[in-house]
Structure 1
Amino acid sequence: MKKLSLGFSPCPNDTFIFDAMLHGRIDTEGLEFEVFMEDVEALNRRAFAGDIAVTKLSYHAFAYLNDRYALLDAGSALGNRCGPLLIARAPMDDDAVNAARIAIPGKMTTANFLLSLAYPDARNKQECLFSEIEGAVLAGEADAGLIIHENRFTYQQKGLLKLMDLGDYWETGTGLPIPLGGIVVRRDLNTEVQQKVNRVLRRSVEYAFAHPDEVMSFVRRHAQAMEDAVMQAHIDLYVTDFTVDLGEKGRRAVQEMFRIAREKHIIPLNNDKIFIN
């Protein structure tokens, strides 16, 4: 079988879970992978073009692609108290947020989906690389910013303040963990291959949990000079039991996100297919 194209981001939570399956630490059941390491918005674009077999995908983007891709039970970033944050230089009330220029990490990110739920009238959004959002707010190029990933741990050091934790907003309203991103596989691959990818990824996540010291060199190599403490906090926040397997509660969280988004006309009424067979 030819190599499967595999897309994921250089963020610590992704490199942590994929290291073992890419570096011969586990049984990959004969699967080999051609890696594309890019930010999530770039991976979203690849998936919309349909030119990648297995990829990290924001749940927002997946809602537009679930006719072509199926969600694996392994590999998801779901969690508590780890959602995107809306930040600014000074306090803002709801009217000010609705009128603000808001820097977002991409239209198809789950962060923007949650922002649309919390502030449906906030429409003056400008897309930025996630790593440039704090700078845009500090420079006055944006009035507020929607931050994700490691920026959750650095914005206060730069003198910025939190307007809303959108993860808390979701969890308070639903009582469920927040679905941020998942790993999907193309539906045109046969069921046996889809299941094999899921088993291999689960094995890779379990190996990383059991042998964290072995996988950290790969994580550090791609962590953009991040301090070890920040890197570890990132992993602890986003790699959880749900990453090993969604389970019933994780699946329910994903289904609820799709239900609410359809109800509020944030995503198309595609179909009800979500998971691998």
Structure 2
Amino acid sequence: MTTEPLQIAYSPCPNDTFVFDAVAHGRVPGAPALDVTFADIDITNGMAERGEFDVLKVSYAVLPYVLDEYALLPCGGALGRGCGPLVLTREAGADLTGRTVAVPSERSTAYLLFRLWAADTLPEGVGEIVVMPFHEIMPAVRDGKVDAGLVIHEARFTYQEYGLHKLADMGEHWERTTGLPIPLGAIIAKRSLGAETLERLADAFRTSVRAAWDDPEASRGYVMEHAQEMDPAVADQHIGLYVNEFTADLGEDGYAAIRGLLTRAAAEGLVPALGPDALAFP
């Protein structure tokens, strides 16, 4: 049994702080102790590829590169419906063929969903892909530095403030073509921790999210402390969109969505193929 605190990294976004509040603050009996680091998803994806930290919140798109060392936990992550990334432009109905598009990470699930959408809808392809921090993307589109931007997180609720138009919803396209929920963020933990610790982690994260649902006010201070000056109403929308039944347990539909995304992405040559037992837990 592990006695040292486990090194965990997740984002400061409201869905993560809401989910992990109880366990991070020692309010889940029997849970492993955690030493928390905050990092945006592009950073944690890189940490996973380098084998850093015991537990990480990462993009599902990075799983094919890290599942030899890490196990996918069946809870704590972000899947859902109606919560996919958006492609935004200055002009309504713009044609992106050969255009420059800003994306938050080339290892992100958002980028995978974008590539799959583009393969279906833009036969001649887009032009240059530019990676930039997600909070810089909408200003860059507004200011004409790029032709379009792929946005995530609370940008779903705020893009109109930048005078931008929604060209396409990657989640709508994914759901329409597959019928499956949208896999966004995964919780992974090192296999070397052992089956017992992995099970304890999964139980602790399930308990933590249910505690947050039972008493939302208990997590509010932690959420708003790290919400980067976000309006509390937007933070609540963010939590409502990204924390759902799949956060408590992936279930059959969740696993089908993950395997569906990564299988199709592998067929397009975007990621390595998954082994038959790659998603097994523990």
Superposed pair shares fold, TM > 0.5: yes
Residue by residue over 1:146-191, the C-alpha shift from the partner in whole angstroms, topping out at 9 and shown as x without a partner, is 0000111100121100010000000001101000011011122211
TM alignment of 1:1-277, pairs within 5 A: 1-29=3-31, 31-93=32-94, 96-120=95-119, 121-272=125-276, 273-277=278-282
Q: What secondary structure, in the 3-state scheme, does the structure 1 residue paired with 2:150 have?
A: strand
Range with greater deviation from structure 2 (253-262 or 154-163) = 253-262
Residue by residue over 1:217-256, the C-alpha shift from the partner in whole angstroms, topping out at 9 and shown as x without a partner, is 1000000111111000000000001100111111111111
Q: Distance in 2 between matches of 1:5 and 1:191?
A: 17
Provide the TM-score with structure 2 as the length reference.
Answer: 0.94
Residue by residue over 1:198-226, the C-alpha shift from the partner in whole angstroms, topping out at 9 and shown as x without a partner, is 11111101100101001111000000111
Residue 63 of structure 1: CA displacement? 2.3
Residue 123 of structure 1: CA displacement? 4.7
Task: Give the residue type in structure 1 aligned to 2:61.
Answer: H
Aligned pair in 2 of structure 1 residues 123, 50: CA closer, same or farther (>3 Å)? farther
Q: 1:179–1:254: 8 Å Cα contact kept in structure 2?
A: yes
Q: Distance in 2 between matches of 1:18 and 1:114?
A: 26
Q: Distance in 2 between matches of 1:215 and 1:42?
A: 24
Q: Distance in 2 between matches of 1:221 and 1:11?
A: 10
Range with greater deviation from structure 2 (116-125 or 210-219) = 116-125
Provide the TM-score with structure 1 as the length reference.
Answer: 0.96
Q: 1:90–1:160: 8 Å Cα contact kept in structure 2?
A: yes
Cα RMSD for the two superposed structures: 1.2
Q: What secondary structure, in the 3-state scheme, does the structure 1 residue paired with 2:193 have?
A: coil
Counting aligned pairs with the same residue, the percent is: 40
Q: Distance in 1 between matches of 2:27 and 2:195?
A: 25
Q: 2:139–2:162: 8 Å Cα contact kept in structure 1?
A: no
Q: Give the length in aligned residue pairs.
A: 274
Q: Distance in 1 between matches of 2:154 and 2:127?
A: 25
Residue 275 of structure 1: CA displacement? 3.2
Q: Distance in 1 between matches of 2:102 and 2:260?
A: 27
Q: Which runs of 5+ in 1 are unaligned?
A: none
Q: 1:102–1:144: 8 Å Cα contact kept in structure 2?
A: yes
Q: Distance in 2 between matches of 1:181 and 1:265?
A: 21
Q: Which runs of 5+ in 2 are unaligned?
A: 120-124
Task: Give the residue type in structure 2 aligned to 1:154.
Answer: T
Q: What secondary structure, in the 3-state scheme, does the structure 2 residue paired with 1:155 have?
A: helix
Q: What secondary structure, in the 3-state scheme, does the structure 1 residue paired with 2:12 have?
A: coil
Q: Distance in 2 between matches of 1:61 and 1:226?
A: 28
Q: Distance in 1 between matches of 2:130 and 2:93?
A: 18
Residue by residue over 1:4-54, the C-alpha shift from the partner in whole angstroms, topping out at 9 and shown as x without a partner, is 11010000000000000011222143x111111010000111111101110
